[in-house]
Amino acid sequence: MVDQQHTHDRNSMVWMEKISKKFGTITALQEVDFGVEGGEVRALLGDNGAGKSTLIKILMGVYQPTEGQIYFEGKPVKIGSPREARAVGIEAVYQDLALVNLMSISRNFFLGREMIKSLGPFHWLDTRKMDEICLRSLHDVGIEIRSSSERVGSLSGGERQSIAIGRGIHFGAKVLILDEPTSALSVAETRKVLNYITNARERGLAVIFITHNVHHVYMLADSYTVIRHGKNVGTYSKGDLSEDDIADLITGDREI
Amino acid sequence: MVKMEGLLRAPDTWQNKLRRTFSESTIAGPAAVLLIIFALLSIFVPNFFTFRSITGILNAVTLTGTLTVGVTMLMIGGEFDLSVGSLMAVGGYAYGTLCMAGQPALGLVLGLVIPALLGSLNGLLLVWTGIPSFIVTLGTKYFYRGMLWVVTAGTMLQTIDRLPIYNLFNGRLDVLNNLFKAANFRTALLWLLLLVIVFQFLLVRTRFGNHVFAVGGNPGAALGQGVNVKQIRVLNFVITGALAGFAGILLFSQYYTVRVASGDGLELSAIAAAVVGGTMITGGAGNIWGALVGALIISTLRTGVVLMNIPFIPADNFDAIVGVTIVLAAILNTYLRSRA
């Protein structure tokens, strides 16, 4: 049993302690511990329906835990809504839920954080400034776009991911949550996205990489947390286990 | 710092920008359609290209156009309102009753506020129950009109007084009318134009409008980025309700009469005009100018058909042409969008 070798405590960047979530009579999560440090990529692994997305939605403020406590930078916090999550620096980069395809890159970049010009009681969008800043700050993290007025829907999956990641870095996110970021991408695009994730880690961000496929994350993650049927299976450091061992833990084919 | 492998793109050229502006604009296609229809009718139909016909077309869009401004905003936000026809009648009664009681200012306020409150009820029912707005407003469409019947005992409202406030909303614009032969420009047109400009600005130049696009395009992403999705939805219904009330005010100012059945069926005309004007029925894309253009296309065709006097398509069967227009417009808009 290698369990809990990689110990976290309440002083991590994020620490979710004994989180339980019930939907009516169904127990989705039962006393799950999960956390991530700054400058670390933590993989959250589990089969479909294991409770990964429920756990992350609790961290994002979409759901409230039935029991348990979240600590952020050592302090107990209550995250009541996605807005509050973002205010403390938790940024989600969901495959389909990060960007609005019908809107331009810069409108997506500043969505919910628009820059405003005012004259008396009138407020309007400072679109020129937003376009400029969007272009420049994406450039700064190594993402080149043709124009910030281009629609997100016309970009490739990898480009979309990178824009969501770049947005998080620009707005000073401390925790990036990536939900299956590479599952629909080509090999070349996956490599680019993994590069951006590495870049975020170098900048000291805590990265949570959610996937059901250990192969997508084995090279990149510093540690792994596996959950199954809403319970912790264990948390392991890089090198503790082989890819196959982890795959077996996800499915429950073999206890280690 | 890791060396980044950038996503290299060709630099933006002006041709590219132009192509994008045209193909991504939801207004270019409908505007072109309107011009073509107008040109064809002007060439081939006698008496069409006269100020009498043209101002007739314009005056006919003021009511549907006002409803369509709200409905377009709402559809961009991903919702439908089938109750706007009923709310228009409610607004017309509130305004008309108080005007006839010698309280036009109060009538104006309540003619806007009561439909706005009923609109907020639509929105609240949607966000509380999660029932699709199509169903919620299908129910309230009947409920509001039924309650109007109860409150008014089904009596028609009619006035012979000519209060100055009626001229404010439907007076003759003699400055323009004197310039053109047989022209009949009305102030209602200016009100519609003002609404289009204000709401287009609200839509594309304010934070609220940005959030409307986001909620309609991808509510999950909007929520994830901290947009108050429920608040945006309710506000959109309030706006649509107030605009329906304003259409009722225009109606009473125009005809000096309002019936319980007034505005019935206009909810679908407004949706049709919005779709013809390039608004995406699934939300997330559209343009308030498109609302005006869509209403104008339908009104132009109607006038054209009447003037053509075709034996087998009497003006009463105009619905057939509206139906064909909606489908053709949807096909055209989808085609333009696929090239974007």
Average of per-residue pLDDT across B269-296: 93
Provide the CATH number for the domain around residue B201: 1.10.3470
* CB contacts, 8 Å: B284 with chain A: 100-103
Taking an 8 Å cut-off on Cβ atoms, the answer to whether B284 and A141 are in contact is no
Indicate yes or no: CB of A112 within 8 angstroms of CB of B5.
no
Binding-face residues of B in 277-316 toward A, CB within 8 A: 280, 284-285
pLDDT tens digits for B91-140? 999 999 999 999 999 999 999 999 999 999 999 999 999 999 999 999 99
Tokens 């064809």, residue located:
B40
Any chain B CB within 8 A of the CB of A221? no
- Chain A CA closest to residue B285: A102
Report pLDDT for B22: 61
Whats the size of chain B, residue-wise?
Answer: 340
Average pLDDT of chain A is 87
Query: How many inter-chain contacts (A to B, CB under 8 Å) are there?
Result: 123
Residue B21 lies in a domain: no
* Interchain CB distance below 8 Å, A111 and B207: no
Q: Does domain A1-38+47-82+209-256 bear CATH number 3.40.50.300?
A: yes
User: A 78-117 residues with CB below 8 A of B?
Assistant: 81-83, 86-87, 92, 94, 96-103, 107-108, 111-114, 116
Nearest CA in chain B to A94: B221
Q: Quick check: B201 and A112 CB within 8 A?
A: no
Average the pLDDT over A112-130 and give the result. 93
The token pair at B324 is 């064909």
* Tally of structural domains, chain B: 1
Mean pLDDT of the B264-268 span: 94
What are A164-207's pLDDT values in tens digits?
888 988 988 999 999 888 777 888 888 888 888 888 899 899 99
Q: Which whole-number Å values give the CA distances from A44 to A38, B44, B142, in the listed order?
A: 16, 69, 51
Nearest to B72 by CA among B307, B327, B339, B292: B292
- Residue B339, token pair as written in the block: 């090239």
Structural domain includes residue B23: no
The whole model's pTM is what?
0.86
Q: What is the pLDDT at residue B340?
A: 57
Chain B residues whose CB is inside 8 A of the A101 CB are 217-218, 284
* Contact at CB, A144 and B9, closer than 8 angstroms: yes
Find the CB nearest A97 among B7, B17, B224. B224
Task: Inform me whether the pLDDT recorded for B173 exceeds 90.
Answer: no
Q: Distance between CA atoms of B303 and B83, rounded to whole angstroms?
A: 27
Domain holding B320, by residue range, is: 48-338
Backbone torsions φ then ψ of B120, nearest 5 degrees = -65, -30
CB-CB neighbors (< 8 A) of B211 in chain A = 111-112
Nearest-Cα distance to chain A for B219, in Å, is: 8
Number of neighbours of residue B191 by Cβ within 10 angstroms: 20
Find out whether A249 and A22 touch, Cβ atoms under 8 Å: no
Q: Are B68 and B239 in contact (CB under 8 A)?
A: no
Contact B217 A100 (CB under 8 A): yes
CA distance A238 to A255: 18
Interface check for B226 against chain A (CB to CB < 8 A): the answer is yes
Nearest by CB to residue B5, choosing from A101, A116, A192, is A192
**pLDDT at residue A252, as a whole number:** 82
Q: Please give the single-letter amino acid code of residue A110.
A: F
Q: Is position B232 within any domain?
A: yes
Q: Which residues pair with A75 in a beta bridge?
A: A72
Q: Return d(Cα B231, Cα B243) in angstroms, integer.
A: 18
pLDDT band with cut points at 50, 70 and 90 for residue B21: low
The confidence score (pLDDT) of residue B107 equals: 97
Q: Does B19 touch chain A (CB under 8 A)?
A: no
Residue B6 has pLDDT above 50, yes or no: no
Answer whether residue B2 shows pLDDT above 60. Answer: no
Residue with tokens 């912790």: A232
Question: Do A100 and A111 form a contact (C-beta atoms < 8 A)?
Answer: yes
Report the residue of chain A nearest B76, measured CA to CA: A102
* Collapsed DSSP state (helix, strand, coil) of residue B35: helix
Q: What is the pLDDT of residues A144-167, one digit of tens each?
A: 888 888 889 888 888 888 898 889
C-beta separation of B38 from B32 below 8 A: no
DSSP line for A57-81: HHHTTSS--SEEEEEETTEEE---S
Residue B95 falls inside a structural domain: yes
Residue B67: phi and psi, rounded to 5, are -60, -40
ipTM value: 0.85
Q: What is residue B185's three-state secondary structure?
A: coil
In a mutational test of the B interface, the residue from A53, A101, A103, A207 whose CB has the highest number of chain B CBs within 10 Å is A103
Residue A120 backbone zone (phi > 0: left; psi -120 to 50: alpha; other: beta): left
Q: Which of residues 123-162 of A touch B (CB under 8 A)?
A: 123-125, 127, 141-147, 149-151, 154, 158-159, 162
Cα–Cα nearest to B133, from B271, B249, B248, B225: B271
